[in-house]
Chain A
Amino acid sequence: MAAAIRQPGWYRAAIGTVLGAAFGFFLVVGLRLLSGLDAFQTEQTGYPQVIVPLITTPFGFLFGFGAFDYWFRWAAGKPTIPEDHSGHGATRWQDYFTFNTDHKVIGTQYVVTTLFFFLIGGLLALLMRAELAQPGGQIVAANTFNGLFSTHAVVMIFLFIIPIFAGLANYVLPLMIGAPDMAFPRLNALSFWLLPIAGIIFLGSFLAPGGSFDAGWTGYAPLSTGAPLGQSFFNIGVQFAGASSIATALNFLVTIITMRAPGMNLWRMPLLVWANLSTSLLVVGATPFVAGAQFMVFFDRILGMNFFNFLEGGDVISYQHIFWFYSHPAVYIMMLPGFGIISEIISTHARKPVFGYRLMALALIGIVVLSYSVWAHHMFVAGMFSWLRVPIMITTMLIAVPTGIKVFSWLGTLFYGKIHTYSTAMLFSLAFIITFTVGGISGVMTAMIPLDIHVSDTYFIVAHIHFVLFGGSVFTIFAGIYHWFPKMTGRMYDERLGRIHFWGTLVGTWMTFVPMHWIGMDGMPRRVADYATQYGNWNLLISVSAFVLGAVQLIFLYNMIVSWRFGPKAGNNPWRANSIEWQVSSPPPVFNFDEIPRVVGGPYEYGTPGARHAIMGGEGEGAEVPETQPSTVTAPS
């Protein structure tokens, strides 16, 4: 037992958690008593005896869990323990609950954890839809409703969409570029474990006096600076989620820049790699702004500062500027990795090279650059500088150009392709193009100032954001999961259940979110628990569709869980794809490769007989680009 406590693991983590909490708590109480104050302070923006333990407990957990063991040895000047790779890979399910540094294990941890939070966020949404099914009060009080939509958005954004892309990329990206692992494996593991911590903090806010944070996921000041304790949980949770996100992005950038296989120059990188390169640039550059904004709100609340207190010289609008300077790039953080996934799947299943490959890559970079210049289109009615409106309108419309390039390039890829739709991944990709385009068009509509003034804070905005985030990002996530499920688990999922899930999701999405455009145009305000009776019928339809949409996701979960255990063996390359991750076994070997592969061509040379993307290590050092040898990836003609 004593040995088990000294080893990093769950015993030590439990002790660390308790010690961390106790340290924070007694630090506050002790200092307060020493200064002659009451032991507890219970103003709703205060509660230091809760806030400080909320920060120290996660660190206690991480210390105990072994997240910092290596770095501590290094810092103390001790000889560090050389990596013996014994912790690499996962042989039992318990291995997924350790501080594992294998990128494939971490990828799986990410995907499973984020899908769990997807379920939670979905249940929160269904609670809201139950409340909104009819005019008048149904099941929750108006205050609780505010908490529901705030946590729904935060869980979906910070704990599902952003990290699940990091998880999928964590799994496949090092394989795709021919790297044995990520550049900083320990940092990678730490990034993952910060995530459930953030999730527990966000959801734990429901237990706080005054209920969960209820100022929306945007947490606008001064609503948030005076809100009950739950808002501080939001401020702190964002720091953990943001740190996780930045650390992963940094890891991706270094991995992509320094660890590509020989021969893989920039123009031979698969578009998923390009997409994660650009996303990571956005994360590293923009996420500190949301951290800063939440720090300021936190300081206003806890330390009594006056960033957003007008009476003391504060500036209220500045919150929105700083917040949206992150949060508009954030919508591209939530979309660009999806673009990469779609490019992979469309090209593979249309058996054609990606149309305009270089322009596709440059369009991603174009979006990165432009996305820093459009933040204020969220603020047309906020009373900001009036001279900023028209420039922002123009940049917002401009950003539709690179996005349009991508949509037309996908269509160009499909054009005259041999389109195979046997895979659910391809079905989701095709549906994505249509649904996302609709969401994109309503985005360009709201870029226009007059229309935006009319639809601000109505259900039109809810419809737009869900068309791009659900019909866009979530469709690409489903496509990605179906596409790489055989690679990650070594088994095939049930295509029949996949199809039911696909059609249910597609119809459910349109039935749920299309009517929101109309009632929004009519003026139904968002973020309100009650509404005028004239919207009753539409809302009932939306609620019923939302429940259907939710129920269909259970089929997906069933399919994934059962197929993971009992599905038929998948083989190395069920989709006959070109990129490197499909040339290794399914699931991939513990160290990915025996020898680093050599890249000899582009990743999408489908339909060109004999064309190769990479030569794997087993094929010998002197292997020429085989001219006559039949390619494993050529489409049957």
Chain B
Amino acid sequence: MESASIAAHGHVDDHHHGPPEAHQSARIDRTILGILLFILSEVMLFGAFFAAYFFLRVVADPASWPPEGVELPVLIAGINTCILVSSSFTVHYALEAIKHNNHRGLKLGLTTTWLLGATFLFIQINEYIHIGFTPRDGAFGSIFFSLTGLHGAHVFVGLLLLTFANIRAYRGHFGPEQKDHLGVEVPGIYWHFVDIMWIIVFLAVYII
């Protein structure tokens, strides 16, 4: 099993003439820095939609927000929030487990996270079906579906990343060294971002 690991392949081409090893001029790993910067740009993408939200709600100053007759399912969304937030803890547990070479804990954590994320998405789609208005119904419909939908798309991408991590976890490809579990850590960081962003979306759209 271990022979198939990605880490093992790094050593195969040591004898092959290749480029010299780059000097590591910062303590942070390249991949981690890369995902953090990517998240920065994602935050700004959400920022564009929050800017639109601000204009539609505050600057355009509609008579009522949400419009008359629209009742948002705050309770269900709240439960959904709890589901997503708890998945942040399970993915953290998975990372801690593999740091201590606990493969069982890794698999348990990643699978639970995946299931929690999928549940969140399922409830979200159900909410869309039963919410009683569409993206075409006024500016409120547009921004509601755009913000929650943009976030939903990010949950979907996060789930894909977690799927890949799960596959490799079940094949035993990860190890306690940082370079051997970047495949868990990077999706994990992305997943934390998706969670935190949901809390902000939830507060903006459902609560205030």
Contact = CB atoms under 8 A, between A and B. Distances in A.
Interface of A: 74-77, 79-80, 82-85, 88, 178-181, 183-184, 246, 250-251, 253-254, 257-262, 264, 284-289, 291-293, 295-296, 299-300, 303-307, 309, 312-315, 317-318, 321-322, 325, 591-596, 617
Contacts of A261: 23, 25
B143 A259 contact: no
A268 to B, nearest CB: 11
B26 A258 contact: yes
A427 to B, nearest CB: 36
Which range holds the interface residue count of chain B? 35 or more
Nearest to A280: B37
Contacts of A295: 48, 146
B18 interface: yes
A286 B48 CA distance: 10
Interface of B: 4-6, 9-10, 12-13, 16-26, 28-30, 33-34, 37-38, 40-42, 44-45, 47-49, 51-52, 55-56, 59-60, 62, 67, 135-136, 138-143, 145-146, 160, 163-164, 167-168, 171, 173, 183
A262 B37 contact: no
Contacts of B45: 288-289, 291-292
8 contacts: A77-B173, A183-B34, A184-B34, A251-B34, A284-B41, A306-B138, A313-B56, A318-B52
B12 A250 contact: no
B37 A74 contact: no
A465 to B, nearest CB: 24
A592 B38 CA distance: 28
A76 B167 contact: yes
Q: State the majority secondary structure of interface residues on B.
A: helix
Contacts of B13: 82-84
A324 B59 CA distance: 17
Contact of B22 (A259, A293, A307): A259
Contact of A315 (B23, B55, B183): B55
A304 B135 contact: yes
A309 B160 CA distance: 35
A307 B139 contact: yes
B135 A312 contact: no
B33 A299 contact: no
A593 B6 CA distance: 27
B164 A75 contact: yes
A289 B141 contact: no
A315 to B, nearest CB: 4
Given A79-B9, A305-B142, A307-B142, A284 B20 contact: no
B12 A180 contact: no
A289 B47 CA distance: 8
Contacts of B140: 313
Q: State the majority secondary structure of interface residues on A.
A: loop
B22 A180 contact: yes
B6 to A, nearest CB: 6
Contact of B146 (A304, A305, A312): A305
A288 B136 contact: no
Contacts of B37: 250, 253-254, 284
A246 B145 CA distance: 25
A591 B18 contact: yes
Contacts of B29: 258
Contact of A305 (B4, B25, B60, B136): B136
A84 B62 CA distance: 61
Of A74, A84, A258, chain B has the most CB atoms within 10 Å of the CB of A258
A1 B155 CA distance: 41
Contacts of B30: 183-184, 254, 258-259
Closest 4 CB pairs of A and B: A292-B48, A318-B55, A180-B19, A313-B139
A258 B24 contact: yes
Nearest to B161: A75
A585 to B, nearest CB: 15
B51 A303 contact: no
B55 A317 contact: yes
A354 to B, nearest CB: 22
Contacts of B67: 313
Given A299-B142, A307-B143, A315-B60, A178 B23 contact: yes
Of B16, B26, B48, chain A has the most CB atoms within 10 Å of the CB of B48
Contact of A293 (B20, B48, B141): B48
A424 B10 CA distance: 46
B9 to A, nearest CB: 5
A325 to B, nearest CB: 7
Nearest to A285: B44
Given A258-B33, A321-B55, A595 B20 contact: yes
A257 B33 contact: yes
B44 A79 contact: no
